[in-house]
Structure 1
Amino acid sequence: MKTDDKKEKPAIPMLASEAPKPNAAMETQSTNGGGGRKGKKRSRKICICVTLLILLLIFVVPLVLGLTLFKPKRPITTIDSVAVDRLQASVDVLNLKVVLNLTLSVDLSLKNPNRVGFSFGNASALLNYGGKLIGEAPLPASRVGPENTLPMNITLTLMADRLLTDTQIINDVMSGSIPINTFVKVAGKVRVLKIFKIKVKSSSSCDIVISVANRNVTSQHCKYSTKL
């Protein structure tokens, strides 16, 4: 009887030198993959740095120019002259009241020393006596060009009814001199590089004395103020 069973041959261990070698293409692919990731990270860092630099320039350059070359300066409102257009003054001694009609012509100017335009809204010129408002004239909104001066002429008319109960005006008319005050205030904005808007307020206050006999201004003392 034949035996079909064959003895199994013992497995021969493979030597390390005979172990299958990794595919060269796979090694190259692995190496290239690592380098690609590093390249992408580097490009991303460069992109972020360039973006930050551009943003820095966008904000810093206008700021530096705004604080140096385009640094806002204070516009100045000046009352150049005050003239009496009409004056009628008389005193009713029996009834202790004064009849007073007064119209003033005021020349004023608004100087803008900035390298950019100055725009201001509607304003008013005021006529005061003893701290009381006795006249008012409108100043329409306007714009003063860079380093320009805007001349303006206004007419201030006394509101006679405001002085009906004021006894001091009787003494002033009888003494021949009437002290009054003119006040002008404008508020606007200076726009630097079309980015920064700076609010500006400019005012002028003039104490003047009017001669009843000569019907003219005998003295004028003005104060000017500007706030940024």
Structure 2
Amino acid sequence: MVDKDQVLPLAFSTNGRSAEDNTPVAADEAKLTADPKTRRRRCFKICGVITAAFLLIAILIIVLIFTLFRVRDPIIKLDGVEINNLGTLMGIPKQGTNITLTAHVIVKNPNIASFRYPNTTTMLYYHGNVVGEARGPPGKAKAQRSQRITASVDLFTGRFMADPNLMSDVAAGTIVVGSYTKVGGRIRMLKFVQRHVVVTMNCTLTINVPTRSIQEQKCKRHVKL
């Protein structure tokens, strides 16, 4: 007879697996792990999802570059020229008179990034000859904002007075002066979109001699990227 206090041995699990390994979920996982074709299909699916995600990101970046991040041309405008000192004798500037002008230039930046520019240059022409030069300080036009530049113009009185057309123009009451303004700078968007921009503008100004004001102004703008 078997002693009541005798402990019977535990039954060993089949194939070295526990009872939990015999559940349906564990069986499915074992099949997936053991089947090479299933593993390849899973890898293909994961690679496909990753590739699609990268493609979407690339398309989004391209769309942003050609729409929101597209570099637009900065706009410069000659807002006016003031005659600060003009000594005249019988309506004609005196010989040796120090004639000073103040040029007001507006730089408009339509981009979503700032536009930085170095020194600006403005030249004045009278009947094709350079009679004045102005240099403005460097600055920055903020995104979708306008920056006003004020520059003093040094007028070359000798060249201006030596022009044979001066007396007839003053007698007619108007002086036609040409101006050439150049603004170069850089537009930087994020870290991968950076463009160098040069904006030039040619203007024809008709100055009213009695009132010392601009009677008419016509300008043409050119942008080089």
TM-score (normalised: structure 1): 0.67
- Match in the other structure for 2:132: 135
For structure 2, the 5+ residue unaligned runs are 1-33
| Aligned counterpart for 2:110 among listed residues 108, 113, 138 | 113
In the alignment, the residues of structure 2 paired with residue 139 and residue 62 of structure 1 have an alpha-carbon distance, to the nearest angstrom, of 37
1:217 aligns with 2:208: no
SS in 1 for 2:215: strand
Q: What is the CA deviation profile of residues 124-150 of structure 1, one whole-angstrom value per residue up to 9, with x for unaligned ones?
A: 122211122211111222211111111
User: Which structure has the higher relative contact order (CA within 8 Å, separation 6+)?
Assistant: 1
Summarize the Cα distance change of 1:42–1:107 in structure 2 as closer, same or farther, 3 Å threshold. same
In the alignment, the residues of structure 1 paired with residue 113 and residue 139 of structure 2 have an alpha-carbon distance, to the nearest angstrom, of 14
- 164-173 vs 136-145, which deviates more? 164-173
In the alignment, the residues of structure 1 paired with residue 58 and residue 203 of structure 2 have an alpha-carbon distance, to the nearest angstrom, of 43
Shift of 1:65: 0.4
- Match in the other structure for 1:60: 59
Contact 1:110 1:150 in 2 (8 A): yes
Aligned residue-pair number? 191
Shift of 1:175: 3.8
| Largest Rg, 1 or 2 | 1
**Runs ≥4 in structure 1, deviation > 6 angstroms?**
38-44
Contact 1:122 1:139 in 2 (8 A): yes
TM-score (normalised: structure 2): 0.67
- Match in the other structure for 2:4: none
Q: What is the CA deviation profile of residues 185-208 of structure 1, one whole-angstrom value per residue up to 9, with x for unaligned ones?
A: 212232233312233333333322
Contact 1:89 1:173 in 2 (8 A): no
